[in-house]
Amino acid sequence: MNLDGRSVIVTGASKGIGRATAKMLADAGAHVCLAARSKARLETVAEEIKANGGNTLVVPTDVSDPKQVASMMKTTQDSLGGLDIMINNAGVGHWDWEGVVGGNLDMWTQEIEVNLLGLMYGTHYAAKLMQEQGKGDIVNIGSGSGRTTAHPWLGYVASKWGVRGFTEASLRDLRDDGIRVTHLIPGAVETPLQPEEDIESTQMLNPEDVADAILYAVSRPDHISINELMLIPSGRE
């Protein structure tokens, strides 16, 4: 699967799924813009990519701020000559052990702003660039929690149900522009979002599993669109 010369943005690229995806797409030949809030962590990922011969760009970005997202897009366009692939991966999650009544409203706000609005901003600005080119790929990272309820992830569940609806609407709106929109739904993934005890006791996907699915989706021939792709652990090691 070859992405030679294609320009990519990966949000949440400093760790977990984003880090694995950025490295895998760079290994496939893409020029990758790394976006997240932590410049230091992004630079570590960039060094790993460069050490393997890849080309990368570090753009610290808080995706919940639309002005920062717009600036990230302009920097990518100016530095990489356009945008072929947008990976909306940035996400946060909090445990709502106190339930609806005792829920932390600040945490709910953050989950909606990052997981849903940040993804919407990224899709909006990416699609504007891709319309000019007449093609492009947008991959939105959802969750199994966007299909079924999951206590005590109240704010997280709400944000991921929103991701599902927005992505389905977007793929219908943008397909006549040659823009493919993929909703990637991983099951439990071994990332910093997961409690350590769950990682030790539950079979999970690893970030590279998700990165590999992303690479598959964006490397299909132009006449094939992967609208939705779900990954779950098979139960076999």
Whether 183 is covered by a domain: the verdict is: yes
Q: Of all helices (H) and strands (E), which one includes residue 57?
A: strand 55-58
* 33 in Cβ contact with 56 (< 8 Å): yes
Number of domains, the chain:
1
Whether 169 is covered by a domain: the verdict is: yes
Whether 201 is covered by a domain: the verdict is: yes
pLDDT single digits (tens) 207-232: 999 999 999 999 999 999 999 999 98
pLDDT single digits (tens) 106-129: 999 999 999 999 999 999 999 999
CB under 8 A, 24+ apart: contacts of 104-112: 107/155, 108/154, 108/155, 108/158, 109/155, 110/64, 110/155, 111/155, 111/156, 111/158, 111/159, 112/155, 112/158, 112/159, 112/162
* 216 in Cβ contact with 135 (< 8 Å): no
Active site residues: 156
Whether 236 is covered by a domain: the verdict is: no
- Which residue range(s) make up the domain with 129? 7-231
CATH of the domain at 132: 3.40.50.720
pLDDT single digits (tens) 156-208: 999 999 999 999 999 999 999 999 999 999 988 876 555 554 444 457 899 99
Whether 2 is covered by a domain: the verdict is: no
Whether 222 is covered by a domain: the verdict is: yes
Whether 1 is covered by a domain: the verdict is: no
